[in-house]
Amino acid sequence: MRSTCGRPVKDSESPAAASAGAVAPRPRDWLLLLSLVLIWAASWPVIKIGVGQIPPIWYGCLRYAIAALILFGLLTARGEFALPPPSDLPFVVVSGALQMAAYSALTGLALTILPPGRASVLAFSTPIVVAPLAAWRLGEDLNPRMVAGVLIGCAGTAVIASPSFTAIGKQTIAYAMLMTAATAWAVTIVTVRGHRFASSALSLAPWQMLIAAILLLPMAVSVEGTLPAISPLGAATLVYVAPVATAFAYWAVVEAGRRFAASTMSMALLATPGIGLLISAAVLKEPINASLVMGVVLTAAGIRLTIATKQG
């Protein structure tokens, strides 16, 4: 299962199968899930600060390179380091290229223009895109409730982006980048859906991150030039985003997915952009007006309708 911040695509094990073999969540499991939501929520304003200090594509490259090294070290220490099996390799490449490299570059560029709370809501709108894409590409049912969810979610994203409609400019481009990022993540989900992975999500994660870093490196050099000197503030944001909001969060979402039902995970993670918006308002003084609140509510309702229908 996401994402702004290194969220994994859910592996081939069905939620029903996972729930059947799971024990009731313990207090420390709830603490892990709460920590995951707060870490991802806080990562948006942190990344906003980071891309103000380090060029955004370079920022994504460094983030995934550091996170990959950390997870490679973890897997080696656990004796689980292994090359991706051939059957998984194409999907590892797709995930690294779209879900991580493209998503990171596009959201990073958008955050140089837009406030992080508003940006996070649009970047988390992936389920709204997945539903029609899966219906077209995989022939999945798109029932009336899902159609309503997609339409309501699209209305929410339009309300959030409405301030940029008066004149085409940088904000309009930034909103388009965020929706393209959400679409790139949706394409990844639809591409890997139905594939039975031979390796665990955690063992494949550092390879996906390594591919993302490798792809972002030449892009950063060609678009942003050589890496400038990193300020202490920029380095501090990377210390949080790479080890905590990417490497640790990736491990945490895999572990939490083993302990909670898919519906519980979806509802918890759905709270991430809203909490991120509140953190951004408190720390970065991001304004919250009626149209933004309405857009958040509509987008969340649309996502919930599509998720609930799929899980039902």
| Segments making up each domain of the chain, as ranges | 25-311
Q: Which pLDDT score is estimated for 174?
A: 93
Q: What does each C-alpha distance from 292 to 115, 159, 162, 246, 273 come to in angstroms?
A: 12, 7, 9, 27, 12
Inter-residue contact 39 to 248 (CB < 8 Å): yes
Give tens-digit pLDDT for 142-197. Answer: 888 889 999 999 999 999 888 767 666 888 899 999 999 999 988 988 888 778 88
Burial 203-212 (b: 16+ CB within 10 A, else e): bbbbbbbbbb
Q: Which pLDDT score is estimated for 311?
A: 54
pLDDT < 70 stretches in the chain? 1-23, 164, 166-168, 262-263, 308-312
Task: Give the residue from 95, 8, 92, 108 showing the smallest Cα distance to 60.
Answer: 108
Give tens-digit pLDDT for 78-109. Answer: 999 999 999 999 999 999 999 999 999 999 99
Q: State the Cα–Cα distance between residues 161 and 123, nearest whole angstrom.
A: 12
Q: Which pLDDT score is estimated for 308?
A: 65
Q: What does each C-alpha distance from 133 to 128, 152, 153, 191, 211 come to in angstroms?
A: 9, 16, 15, 10, 25
- Give, for 297, the enclosing helix (H) or strand (E): helix 290-311
Task: Give the residue from 250, 240, 302 showing the smallest Cα distance to 68.
Answer: 250
Half-sphere exposure (Cβ direction) of 145: Cα atoms closer than 13 Å: 11
Task: Give the residue from 219, 239, 231 showing the smallest Cα distance to 63.
Answer: 239
Q: Which residues fall within 8 angstroms of residue 222, CB to CB, at 6 or more apart? A: none
Q: Which pLDDT score is estimated for 23?
A: 65
